[in-house]
Amino acid sequence: YFYPYPQRPAGLVEEAFDELARRWRPILDAFDNAGVDLCYEVHPSEDLFDGATVEMFWDRVDHHKRACLLYDPSHFVLQQLDYLQYIDFYHDRIKMFHVKDAEFRPSGRQGVYSGYQPWKERAGRFRSLGDGQVDFKAIFSKFAQYGYQGWAVLEWECALKNAEDGAREGAPFIRDHIININVTGKSFDDFVATGTDAAANRRMLGIDR
Protein backbone atom coordinates (compact mmCIF):
# COMPACT_ATOMS: atom_id res chain seq x y z
CA TYR A 1 0.00 0.00 0.00
CA PHE A 2 2.98 2.37 -0.12
CA TYR A 3 1.93 3.41 -3.64
CA PRO A 4 -1.30 5.48 -3.62
CA TYR A 5 -3.05 3.62 -6.47
CA PRO A 6 -5.34 1.82 -6.29
CA GLN A 7 -6.67 3.77 -3.35
CA ARG A 8 -6.09 2.05 -0.03
CA PRO A 9 -8.95 1.74 2.47
CA ALA A 10 -9.46 4.96 4.41
CA GLY A 11 -7.77 4.84 7.81
CA LEU A 12 -5.76 1.68 7.05
CA VAL A 13 -2.30 3.21 7.46
CA GLU A 14 -3.36 5.29 10.44
CA GLU A 15 -4.71 2.20 12.20
CA ALA A 16 -1.46 0.37 11.46
CA PHE A 17 0.62 3.16 12.98
CA ASP A 18 -1.64 3.31 16.03
CA GLU A 19 -0.97 -0.40 16.58
CA LEU A 20 2.74 0.07 15.90
CA ALA A 21 2.92 2.71 18.62
CA ARG A 22 0.92 0.55 21.05
CA ARG A 23 3.41 -2.29 20.65
CA TRP A 24 6.52 -0.14 20.82
CA ARG A 25 5.54 2.13 23.71
CA PRO A 26 6.30 -0.38 26.51
CA ILE A 27 9.61 -1.22 24.83
CA LEU A 28 10.56 2.45 24.67
CA ASP A 29 9.59 2.85 28.32
CA ALA A 30 11.80 -0.11 29.25
CA PHE A 31 14.71 1.46 27.39
CA ASP A 32 14.05 4.71 29.23
CA ASN A 33 14.10 2.93 32.59
CA ALA A 34 17.48 1.47 31.61
CA GLY A 35 18.79 4.86 30.45
CA VAL A 36 19.37 3.66 26.89
CA ASP A 37 18.34 5.15 23.55
CA LEU A 38 16.63 2.93 20.99
CA CYS A 39 17.65 3.74 17.41
CA TYR A 40 15.41 2.88 14.47
CA GLU A 41 17.18 2.30 11.17
CA VAL A 42 15.01 4.15 8.67
CA HIS A 43 15.00 1.68 5.81
CA PRO A 44 12.98 0.78 2.70
CA SER A 45 10.55 -2.12 3.34
CA GLU A 46 10.30 -1.21 7.05
CA ASP A 47 7.46 0.61 8.83
CA LEU A 48 9.68 3.68 9.20
CA PHE A 49 11.35 4.33 5.86
CA ASP A 50 11.56 8.13 5.59
CA GLY A 51 11.04 11.29 7.62
CA ALA A 52 7.28 11.36 7.08
CA THR A 53 6.78 7.86 8.49
CA VAL A 54 9.13 8.60 11.38
CA GLU A 55 7.06 11.65 12.29
CA MET A 56 3.82 9.62 12.09
CA PHE A 57 5.32 7.20 14.60
CA TRP A 58 6.70 9.91 16.89
CA ASP A 59 3.32 11.62 17.04
CA ARG A 60 1.79 8.39 18.33
CA VAL A 61 4.41 7.74 21.02
CA ASP A 62 4.28 11.37 22.23
CA HIS A 63 7.74 12.03 20.81
CA HIS A 64 9.25 9.59 23.29
CA LYS A 65 12.78 10.75 24.09
CA ARG A 66 14.20 7.24 23.57
CA ALA A 67 12.76 6.90 20.05
CA CYS A 68 15.96 7.87 18.23
CA LEU A 69 17.41 7.26 14.78
CA LEU A 70 20.17 5.34 13.07
CA TYR A 71 21.32 7.35 10.06
CA ASP A 72 22.25 5.48 6.87
CA PRO A 73 22.53 7.68 3.76
CA SER A 74 22.65 4.73 1.35
CA HIS A 75 18.97 3.98 1.91
CA PHE A 76 18.08 7.57 1.10
CA VAL A 77 20.08 7.58 -2.14
CA LEU A 78 18.04 4.61 -3.34
CA GLN A 79 14.83 6.50 -2.43
CA GLN A 80 16.10 9.80 -3.87
CA LEU A 81 15.60 11.52 -0.51
CA ASP A 82 17.76 14.53 0.46
CA TYR A 83 20.06 12.83 2.96
CA LEU A 84 21.78 16.08 3.98
CA GLN A 85 18.60 18.00 4.79
CA TYR A 86 17.46 14.93 6.72
CA ILE A 87 20.33 15.65 9.14
CA ASP A 88 19.17 19.27 9.44
CA PHE A 89 15.67 18.07 10.31
CA TYR A 90 16.50 15.24 12.72
CA HIS A 91 20.06 15.74 14.01
CA ASP A 92 18.93 15.90 17.63
CA ARG A 93 17.54 12.36 17.32
CA ILE A 94 20.38 10.77 15.35
CA LYS A 95 22.42 8.66 17.77
CA MET A 96 23.96 6.08 15.39
CA PHE A 97 25.53 6.32 11.93
CA HIS A 98 26.09 3.59 9.36
CA VAL A 99 28.76 4.77 6.92
CA LYS A 100 27.52 3.07 3.77
CA ASP A 101 27.72 4.14 0.13
CA ALA A 102 25.27 3.75 -2.75
CA GLU A 103 24.54 4.98 -6.24
CA PHE A 104 21.41 5.69 -8.25
CA ARG A 105 21.74 5.68 -12.04
CA PRO A 106 18.30 5.65 -13.66
CA SER A 107 17.84 4.83 -17.32
CA GLY A 108 15.05 4.65 -19.87
CA ARG A 109 14.41 1.10 -18.65
CA GLN A 110 14.31 1.44 -14.87
CA GLY A 111 14.20 3.88 -11.98
CA VAL A 112 13.67 3.62 -8.21
CA TYR A 113 11.79 0.31 -8.43
CA SER A 114 14.49 -1.19 -10.69
CA GLY A 115 12.24 -3.69 -12.47
CA TYR A 116 12.94 -6.77 -10.29
CA GLN A 117 16.56 -6.80 -11.47
CA PRO A 118 19.43 -8.39 -9.47
CA TRP A 119 21.66 -6.06 -7.48
CA LYS A 120 24.36 -5.80 -10.14
CA GLU A 121 21.83 -4.58 -12.69
CA ARG A 122 19.69 -2.30 -10.55
CA ALA A 123 19.55 1.47 -11.09
CA GLY A 124 19.98 1.84 -7.35
CA ARG A 125 22.57 -0.34 -5.66
CA PHE A 126 24.88 -0.32 -2.65
CA ARG A 127 28.61 0.26 -3.19
CA SER A 128 31.86 0.18 -1.25
CA LEU A 129 32.83 3.40 0.47
CA GLY A 130 34.05 5.93 -2.05
CA ASP A 131 32.71 4.02 -5.06
CA GLY A 132 29.17 5.41 -4.86
CA GLN A 133 27.57 8.84 -4.96
CA VAL A 134 27.16 9.69 -1.27
CA ASP A 135 28.80 13.00 -0.33
CA PHE A 136 30.49 11.89 2.88
CA LYS A 137 32.47 15.12 3.26
CA ALA A 138 29.19 17.00 3.50
CA ILE A 139 27.72 14.42 5.89
CA PHE A 140 30.67 14.50 8.28
CA SER A 141 30.62 18.31 8.11
CA LYS A 142 26.93 18.29 9.07
CA PHE A 143 27.62 16.01 12.00
CA ALA A 144 30.49 18.23 13.16
CA GLN A 145 28.22 21.28 12.81
CA TYR A 146 25.59 19.70 15.06
CA GLY A 147 28.04 18.15 17.53
CA TYR A 148 27.32 14.49 16.83
CA GLN A 149 29.02 12.37 19.50
CA GLY A 150 28.20 8.83 18.34
CA TRP A 151 30.12 6.20 16.41
CA ALA A 152 30.67 6.17 12.65
CA VAL A 153 30.25 2.46 11.87
CA LEU A 154 31.28 0.88 8.58
CA GLU A 155 28.45 -1.11 6.99
CA TRP A 156 29.51 -2.86 3.83
CA GLU A 157 27.22 -4.21 1.10
CA CYS A 158 28.48 -3.93 -2.46
CA ALA A 159 27.18 -5.55 -5.61
CA LEU A 160 30.63 -5.58 -7.23
CA LYS A 161 33.58 -5.54 -4.82
CA ASN A 162 34.62 -8.29 -2.41
CA ALA A 163 34.20 -7.83 1.34
CA GLU A 164 37.91 -7.97 2.23
CA ASP A 165 38.72 -5.04 -0.04
CA GLY A 166 35.70 -3.17 1.27
CA ALA A 167 36.88 -3.57 4.87
CA ARG A 168 40.50 -2.70 4.10
CA GLU A 169 39.48 0.46 2.23
CA GLY A 170 36.57 1.39 4.47
CA ALA A 171 38.35 1.86 7.80
CA PRO A 172 40.84 4.50 6.58
CA PHE A 173 38.07 6.11 4.51
CA ILE A 174 36.10 6.77 7.69
CA ARG A 175 39.19 7.83 9.64
CA ASP A 176 40.09 10.40 7.00
CA HIS A 177 36.57 11.88 6.98
CA ILE A 178 36.14 12.30 10.74
CA ILE A 179 36.25 15.95 11.78
CA ASN A 180 37.57 16.71 15.26
CA ILE A 181 35.01 19.16 16.61
CA ASN A 182 36.32 22.52 17.83
CA VAL A 183 35.51 22.49 21.56
CA THR A 184 37.64 25.51 22.54
CA GLY A 185 35.01 28.08 21.66
CA LYS A 186 37.61 29.97 19.63
CA SER A 187 37.19 31.03 16.01
CA PHE A 188 39.87 31.04 13.32
CA ASP A 189 39.52 34.83 12.93
CA ASP A 190 39.65 35.77 16.62
CA PHE A 191 43.02 37.43 16.01
CA VAL A 192 41.27 40.36 14.26
CA ALA A 193 38.43 40.66 16.78
CA THR A 194 37.99 44.21 18.10
CA GLY A 195 35.51 43.72 20.90
CA THR A 196 32.36 45.79 21.32
CA ASP A 197 32.57 49.57 20.98
CA ALA A 198 29.04 50.94 20.75
CA ALA A 199 30.19 54.49 20.03
CA ALA A 200 32.46 53.35 17.19
CA ASN A 201 29.68 51.22 15.72
CA ARG A 202 27.30 54.17 15.68
CA ARG A 203 29.93 56.31 13.94
CA MET A 204 30.54 53.60 11.31
CA LEU A 205 26.80 53.46 10.62
CA GLY A 206 26.63 57.23 10.24
CA ILE A 207 24.27 57.57 13.20
CA ASP A 208 26.68 59.71 15.22
CA ARG A 209 29.55 61.88 14.11
Helix 163-177 vs helix 136-146: crossing angle, to nearest 10 = 40
Q: Is residue 26 part of a domain?
A: yes
Residue 187 pLDDT greater than 90, yes or no: no
Q: Per-residue pLDDT for 118 more than 70?
A: yes
**pLDDT over 80 (residue 1):** no
Is residue 7 one of the residues assigned to a domain?
Answer: no
Give percent of the chain above pLDDT 70. Answer: 99
Looking at the domain assignment, is residue 5 inside a domain? Answer: no
Q: In this model, does residue 184 exceed pLDDT 90?
A: no
For residue 70, give the CATH number of its domain: 3.20.20.150
Residue 32 lies in a domain: yes
pLDDT tens-digit readout, 8-44: 899 999 999 999 999 999 999 999 999 999 999 999 9
The predicted model gives 174-203 an average pLDDT of 85
Sign of the alpha-carbon torsion through 22, 16, 76, 159: positive
Number of domains in the chain: 1
User: 25: Cβ–Cβ under 8 A, 6 or more apart, which residues?
Assistant: 61, 64
pLDDT of residue 127: 98
Helix, strand or coil, per DSSP, at residue 46: coil
* pTM for this model (two decimals): 0.90
Residue 98 has pLDDT above 70, yes or no: yes
